[in-house]
Structure 1
């Protein structure tokens, strides 16, 4: 974890009704009263550890950075590790609750709240921004899994085809996850967000099609840029992440002024 010497890092639990969300907040230490905030959402079976990689670069730009564990989003989640209850809609609800929390904090510039989402967290961030277009100032999608509804509907063409338990990469998931995503019109929804969007993806991603990101950037979003990292797959090596965080920093720098 790269943490700037001028940052304070600590655990932060946020409530969404009865759901308790564990996360870590890294805050710049300076004399400014309010800071922009970047909220980092992990992918399938990920954790808050993913977002710690953003601390140093974004703290240096003046951002608070919050990274968290989606309840039921991972076998390693400190919020709730029961992945049988994983739900994209619940994750959207959790992310909205986190946004509301930071909008209510006196040390946050509520006009500069940024979402950064990786893979499934990218889908969740895109859907959340579509529902909160005035509350989210910028959106960053890192190899976003916009394909989740289409992929699973192709695998399970009928609701009756969905088993009680599906295992993906060793992670058990319940029927609800798959019944909910069937009705999602991702590309018809995410375009409701009209503010600046950055999408970062590798051209050798064999999990999420680059074509979906091209479609989102070129046809769906009104103000979007797609940055392709040559040779990168679904997940970045250190040099690839360095390129990604550099592009993200450039994208977010105007919002820090």
Structure 2
């Protein structure tokens, strides 16, 4: 009877957050384990990196990939996080990519769902005793991270935005000025998205929201970015608290080459506490 009651409670709790650890592997500077985190009915695949030398409860960085990206992006941060004594969780947004291990049905992609997923991940790690949590978001993942930090405020210790696509709602409003014009399926760079993605962001204005987060912020972007405007990053810098750093990488576009990523890493090492 007690077991049945527990199952009923879980069934009736739509935002119950559960996690399941699977395969563990050893890498040069620590270990990596597969970690699934549930956000209601959404199952989020990720990898948790733990450095070889760390404190009792290490700070943790949560890496949010961009449009049609994957958890692989976050693996690039393992070295710098190891040096700083951070754990690192990198994951696939459900429906966020055709390669997502969580769910590759991009017709169900949604910025609001991704904010909900990131919120659930933060909640999970806080339930595990983590109190220093850093969000690192790239491109669309930067937009999602900025929106999530604005909502969670003090639960996010630091925020890193890498060429953040704060312009996504504005760009699509220009493409679909009227909600009625939104098609059932829209294809971008070979990725098919459903109508809901565009309906939800039609009246979204990120620059009116993100400044609610008052913690430390680092923004990194290339001055040759043709996808995300530098103007948006400069405006974001002004919205965040005094001392927010915008580091501009000369010649870099939307996506960093190895030597450009190394510049980002150098800024991260200075920024992370």
Deviation string 1:82-137 (CA, Å, 9 cap, x unpaired) is 0000000000000000000110114x3x1x10000000000000000000011001
Aligned-residue RMSD, C-alpha: 1.1
* TM-aligned CA deviation for residue 227 of structure 1: 0.2
Whether the 8 Å contact between 1:4 and 1:55 is mirrored in structure 2 is: no
Deviation string 1:10-37 (CA, Å, 9 cap, x unpaired) is 1110000010000011002336211000
> What is residue 250 of structure 1 aligned with on the other side?
270
Q: Distance in 2 between matches of 1:54 and 1:29?
A: 15
Deviates more, 1:59-68 or 1:69-78: 59-68
Query: Equivalent residue of 2:255, what SS?
Result: coil
* TM-aligned CA deviation for residue 5 of structure 1: 2.9
Query: Equivalent residue of 2:98, what SS?
Result: coil
> What is residue 105 of structure 1 aligned with on the other side?
128
Matched, 1:122 2:145: no
Superposition pairs of residues 150-189 of structure 1, within 5 angstroms: 150-189=170-209
Superposition pairs of residues 32-51 of structure 1, within 5 angstroms: 32-51=55-74
> What is residue 222 of structure 1 aligned with on the other side?
241
Matched, 1:86 2:106: no
Whether the 8 Å contact between 2:29 and 2:79 is mirrored in structure 1 is: no
The list of structure 1 runs, each at least 4 consecutive aligned residues, that deviate by more than 3 angstroms after superposition, is: none
TM-score scaled by length of structure 1: 0.94
Whether the 8 Å contact between 1:46 and 1:74 is mirrored in structure 2 is: yes
Q: Distance in 1 between matches of 2:47 and 2:265?
A: 19
The number of residues matched between the two structures is 247
Q: Which runs of 5+ in 1 are unaligned?
A: none
User: Which structure has the higher relative contact order (CA within 8 Å, separation 6+)?
Assistant: 1
Q: Distance in 2 between matches of 1:49 and 1:59?
A: 17
State which structure, 1 or 2, has the greater radius of gyration over its C-alpha atoms: 2
Deviation string 1:55-102 (CA, Å, 9 cap, x unpaired) is 011121110000000000000000000000000000000000000011
Match of 2:79 among 20, 35, 56: 56
* TM-aligned CA deviation for residue 8 of structure 1: 1.1
TM-score scaled by length of structure 2: 0.89
Q: Which runs of 5+ in 2 are unaligned?
A: 1-25
Q: Distance in 2 between matches of 1:208 and 1:141?
A: 12
Whether the 8 Å contact between 2:135 and 2:160 is mirrored in structure 1 is: yes
> What is residue 197 of structure 1 aligned with on the other side?
217
